Amino acid sequence: MTLNWNVLDGGAFIGKINQGKAEFWSLSWQRNNLATALEENIRGTAAMAIAALERIGLAVLQAETAEENFGLVREAYLDGESTLLDLIDAEDQLISANTSERQALYQFLSDLLTPEQSIACFPFLEGDAGTHVKELEAELQGN
């Protein structure tokens, strides 16, 4: 058995090892940056879903207030104490508030799906989705 090694090739071999190490550390750094970016994205979309959930509460309050206002204006109109324009304006506010309530719910569901897509977890698609929906409704109602 003989071993032939050219002394001049030793530098090239060490250079290739160092180049491989540099590529490894570069890829490791890129992986860490991508993992950090993904985590930031997931946290950001989760924060958006939480904010959308709070907007639902505000939209419900707005709709309830518009409903009460419409009732008061309608009674005032029937008693002759308000104008038709006031009644139409109150009805328009009621319609807008109800639309905002539905849009807030839609936005929450849309924002909720974004982090679920990011982490590839879809609890509503599991076998017992009805239980998940009931639990979510109970949490939203504060029971």
Whole-Å CA distances, 142 to 8, 57, 138: 77, 12, 6
Whole-Å CA distances, 108 to 22, 43, 52, 69, 96: 45, 15, 5, 27, 18
Domain limits at 82?
A: 49-141
CA distance 47 to 35: 18
CA distance 74 to 81: 10
Domain membership of residue 111 (yes or no) is yes
Q: Which pLDDT value is given to residue 12?
A: 74
The tally of domains found in the chain comes to 1
Domain membership of residue 16 (yes or no) is no
Could you tell me the two tokens for 108? 């929450």
Domain membership of residue 123 (yes or no) is yes
Residue pLDDT, tens place only, 43-53: 888 888 888 88
Q: Which pLDDT value is given to residue 102?
A: 92
Domain membership of residue 104 (yes or no) is yes
Domain membership of residue 5 (yes or no) is no
Residue pLDDT, tens place only, 60-76: 999 999 999 999 999 99
Domain membership of residue 20 (yes or no) is no
Backbone φ and ψ for 99, nearest 5 degrees, come out as -65, -40
Domain membership of residue 117 (yes or no) is yes
